Structure 1
Amino acid sequence: MPESEAELAFEGALRPKSLTEFVGQPKVRGQLELLLRAAAMQNRTPDHILLAGPPGLGKTTLAMIVAAESGRPLRMSSGPAIQHAGDLAAVLSSLLPGEILFIDEIHRMARSAEEMLYLAMEDFRIDIMVGKGAGATSVPLDLAPFTLVGATTRSGLLPNPLRDRFGFTAHLEFYDDADLERVLTRAARLLDLDISSSAVAEIAGRCRGTPRIANRLLRRVRDYALVHGTGADLEAVRGALELYDVDPLGLDRLDRAVMDILLTRFDGGPVGLGTLAVSVGEEAETIESVVEPFLVRIGLLTRTPRGRVATPLAFRHFGVERSSGPFLTDVL
C-alpha cells in the first residue's frame, strides 16, 4: 500500500465507528442514542441534529456514527462550499430517501442557501425560481425525507430561524485528562505502539483537552521513538514535545509569542486585539479564534472592555515580574 494510502487508512481507523466506541461526551452520547433508537423504532428519519463546539472534539466523527448507527448513507459537504442557493438545491435534490446530509461549518453558508434550507428542513420541499424579472415563476420541488447534521464552531453566528429547526442540539465540551488517556490508549493500540501509562498521562496533560491534538502528538511521539531508537516512555514524550514546541501546559509557539508580547512589551496589558495581532505577525481572526480561547480557558488571559490583559497566573508561569501599570481588577 502506498504511504499516502496508508496514512489515510490510519486516519480512518482512528475514528470510532459506533457510539459505544466513542470516548468522552457521555451526555451527548446518551442523547444521541435515545434519538436514534426512537427513530428506528418508529421507522422514520431521525430529527435534524446540530453539533456545536470547538474544533477537534469529534463533530465529524459523530456525524459518521449517526449514519452508521441508523444504517443510512451519508452525504458530506461544508458551509464554504455552499455559496449559492443553487449549490444547495443541487445537493438536496439528489439525496436518497433517509440519507444523512452532513454540513460542516454550517454557519459559513451563504444567506440565500440558509433561507432555502428553512423550508427543506421543515417540509422537505424547496422552491426553484425559473426565469428572471417579471416573468420569473417559483416551481416547488418535493425532496426525499432526510436528516441534516450540521456542525459549527460558532453557533452564535447561526440565524435563529435555522437554529430553531434542528430537533436536537448537542454541545460538545473539552475533554478531561482521564478521557484523553483513554483516547490515547486506543490510538496507541491501533498504532501498535507500546507506550507507558506515565507517557500517556504526560501527553494527555498537554493536548488542550482536544482528542485531535492528542492523536497528532501521539504520532509525533511515535516518530521520535522510531528515529531515536527508544521506547515510547516518559523521556521520549518529553523530548518529542519539546522538539515540537509544546510546553507542559500545552502552549505552542504562537501561544507563547502572544503571551511574551503581552507580558514583556505591554507589561500585561490591556492591549487591543489589532495591536496584539500586528505585534506577533498574525491575523486578528487567528488570534481571536485559535489562540485566545485556550489562553482564556486555562486562566492566562482575560478579555476586558479595554483590551486583553494577562492574569497573575501568566506572570508566574512565564517567570515575568510586572513592572508597572494597572492590575487586572483595575481594568475589569
Structure 2
Amino acid sequence: MAEHERDVVSPDADLDERALEGALRPKRLEDFVGQERVREQLSLVLRGAQRRGRAPDHVLMSGGPGLGKTTLAMIIAAELGAPLRITSGPAIERSGDLAAVLSTLQEGEVLFLDEIHRMARPAEEMLYVAMEDFRVDVVVGKGPGATAIPLDIAPFTLVGATTRAGLLPAPLRDRFGFTAHMDFYRADELELILRRSAGLLAADLDDDAAAEIAGRSRGTPRIANRLLRRVRDYADVRGDGRLTLDIARSALSLYEVDVQGLDRLDRAVLDALLRRFRGGPVGLSTLAVSVGEEPETVEVVAEPFLVRSGFIARTPRGRVATPEAWAHMGLTAPPDAAFGAGAPADGAAAPAAGP
C-alpha cells in the first residue's frame, strides 16, 4: 500500500504536518477541548505547585497518537511560564545523550520526552536519579578505573508521553507524581475542535459539515484537523470555498474515508475476513496475506481501530467478525458465523487459525 493512501486517517504525523499543527494548537489549558478529567486534575497540580513556588511533580501522559499529549506538554510550560525542551525516547540512545540534555536545563524548565518507552535502558536508569534527586552520575574512564562523578542539575519538570504505557518499567512509572490517560474524543468534542480550527484557517465551515467530518475522524483531533484541511482543499478547487455537508461528503468519499472513519485498508481487511473466511476465526498472518500486507501492518495500523469500533473481535482461535461488521459491509452473515461465540477461554487449547 502506498504511504499516501493511509496518511489521511493515520494518527501519526510527519514533520511537515507537525509544523501545520503548531498553528492550530491551543496555548492555554482553558482553551483545550476534551479530556475534562485530565484538564481538571492537571490544573490542580499546576496551581498547587505555583502557590508553593516549586516545580510541579513529573507528569506522565499515555494514550494513542494524535490525542493531544504534545499539546498538553506545551500548555504545561505556558501555564508555568517556563521554557520547554522537547526530545524523544529514540533520540536518547546512550546515557551520555540524556546527561547532555539534563545538564543544560534551566531551573523550572519543562522537559518533554515523547515516546519515553523507547529510551535506551542505560539512559532510563540515569533518569531515575535525575527525576528523584536532581542529580546525574557521569562516568569518567573505562573498566576498573572508571569513576562516577555526581553532577547536580537544576530542578525541572519531566513530561513523559507514551503510546504504550505497558512497556514502561514500574520504577520509572512510580517516579511520576501525576499520570494521565488520554481517551479518544466524542464527536461533539471534535466538532468544537473543528470549528476552532476552521476559524484559525479562515475556512467557512457549516455546522452539519463539521458534524460529518467529526463522525469520520476516529475519535482523534489530529485526524479531524487533517480531514478538515482536505475538505477545505476540495471546497477551494471544486466549490466556492464554503465547507458544506455535500462538499464534505464528496471530499471524504474521494479520499476513501467512509461514514465510520474506515479507509481502504480497513475495508480490505473486513472484506477478506467476511467474504473469504466467512467471518473467521482466521489467523493474523493468513488475514494479512489475503490483503497483500505485512502482519505487523494489519495488527498495528488497521486492527486497533477495527477492534475499538466493534467490527472485529480477537479470540484465541483468531480474528472474528462481529454482526456490526457484516451490517457495515452490507453483507448477510452465514448461519454458522462465529461472532466470537464458542471460542475457548484464554489459555484453553484451540486449533490454530492460520499460521
Q: TM-score, normalised by structure 1?
A: 0.95
* Structure 2 Cα separation of the partners of residues 267 and 37 of structure 1: 56
Change (3 A) 1:284 1:86: farther
Query: SS at 1:141's partner residue?
Result: strand
- Cα distance, 1:197 vs structure 2: 0.8
- Cα distance, 1:326 vs structure 2: 3.7
Change (3 A) 1:206 1:54: same
Name the residue aligned to 2:321. 310
Name the residue aligned to 1:285. 296
Query: SS at 1:331's partner residue?
Result: coil
- Cα distance, 1:184 vs structure 2: 0.5
Name the residue aligned to 1:162. 172
Q: Which string of whole-angstrom CA distances, capped at 9 and with x for unpartnered residues, describes residues 115-162 of structure 1?
A: 111111010111111111111111111111111000001100100000
Q: CA RMSD in A?
A: 1.6
* Structure 2 Cα separation of the partners of residues 154 and 148 of structure 1: 18
- Cα distance, 1:221 vs structure 2: 0.6
The match for 1:12 among 22, 31, 34 is: 22
Name the residue aligned to 2:233. 223
Query: SS at 1:330's partner residue?
Result: coil
* Structure 2 Cα separation of the partners of residues 279 and 92 of structure 1: 49
Change (3 A) 1:77 1:302: same
State whether structure 2 residue 105 is matched by structure 1 residue 95: yes
* Structure 1 Cα separation of the partners of residues 156 and 78 of structure 2: 15
Give the 4+ runs in structure 1 shifted more than 4 A.
6-10
Q: What amino acid does structure 2 have at the position aligned with 1:319?
A: G
Q: What amino acid does structure 2 have at the position aligned with 1:266?
A: F
State whether structure 2 residue 332 is matched by structure 1 residue 321: yes
After superposition, residues 100-119 of structure 1 pair within 5 angstroms as 100-119=110-129
Q: TM-score, normalised by structure 2?
A: 0.89
* Structure 2 Cα separation of the partners of residues 219 and 7 of structure 1: 11
After superposition, residues 259-274 of structure 1 pair within 5 angstroms as 259-274=270-285
Q: What amino acid does structure 2 have at the position aligned with 1:328?
A: G
The match for 2:76 among 56, 66, 77 is: 66
The match for 2:218 among 208, 211, 218 is: 208
**Which shows bigger deviation, 319-328 or 236-245?**
319-328
Query: SS at 1:328's partner residue?
Result: coil
Q: Which string of whole-angstrom CA distances, capped at 9 and with x for unpartnered residues, describes residues 239-278 of structure 1?
A: 0000000000000111111111111121111122222223
Q: Is the 8 A contact 2:320 2:338 kept in 1?
A: no
* Structure 2 Cα separation of the partners of residues 233 and 225 of structure 1: 8
Q: What amino acid does structure 1 have at the position aligned with 2:192?
A: R
Q: Is the 8 A contact 2:315 2:340 kept in 1?
A: no
Change (3 A) 1:100 1:225: same
State whether structure 2 residue 233 is matched by structure 1 residue 248: no
- Cα distance, 1:294 vs structure 2: 1.2
Structure 2: runs of 5 or more not aligned: 1-15, 345-355
Name the residue aligned to 1:21. 31
* Structure 1 Cα separation of the partners of residues 177 and 127 of structure 2: 14
- Cα distance, 1:281 vs structure 2: 3.0
* Structure 2 Cα separation of the partners of residues 252 and 328 of structure 1: 24
Name the residue aligned to 1:3. none
- Paired residues, what number? 327
Name the residue aligned to 2:306. 295
* Structure 2 Cα separation of the partners of residues 198 and 92 of structure 1: 49
Name the residue aligned to 2:54. 44
Name the residue aligned to 2:67. 57
Structure 1: runs of 5 or more not aligned: 1-5
State whether structure 2 residue 192 is matched by structure 1 residue 175: no
Q: Which string of whole-angstrom CA distances, capped at 9 and with x for unpartnered residues, describes residues 32-58 of structure 1?
A: 111111111111111100011111110
**Which shows bigger deviation, 319-328 or 252-261?**
319-328
Q: Which string of whole-angstrom CA distances, capped at 9 and with x for unpartnered residues, describes residues 92-136 of structure 1?
A: 111111110001111111111111111110101111111111111
Q: Is the 8 A contact 2:92 2:120 kept in 1?
A: yes
Percent identical: 67
Change (3 A) 1:226 1:285: same
Change (3 A) 1:316 1:281: same
* Structure 2 Cα separation of the partners of residues 7 and 203 of structure 1: 19
* Structure 2 Cα separation of the partners of residues 94 and 282 of structure 1: 45
- Cα distance, 1:327 vs structure 2: 4.2
Query: SS at 1:20's partner residue?
Result: helix
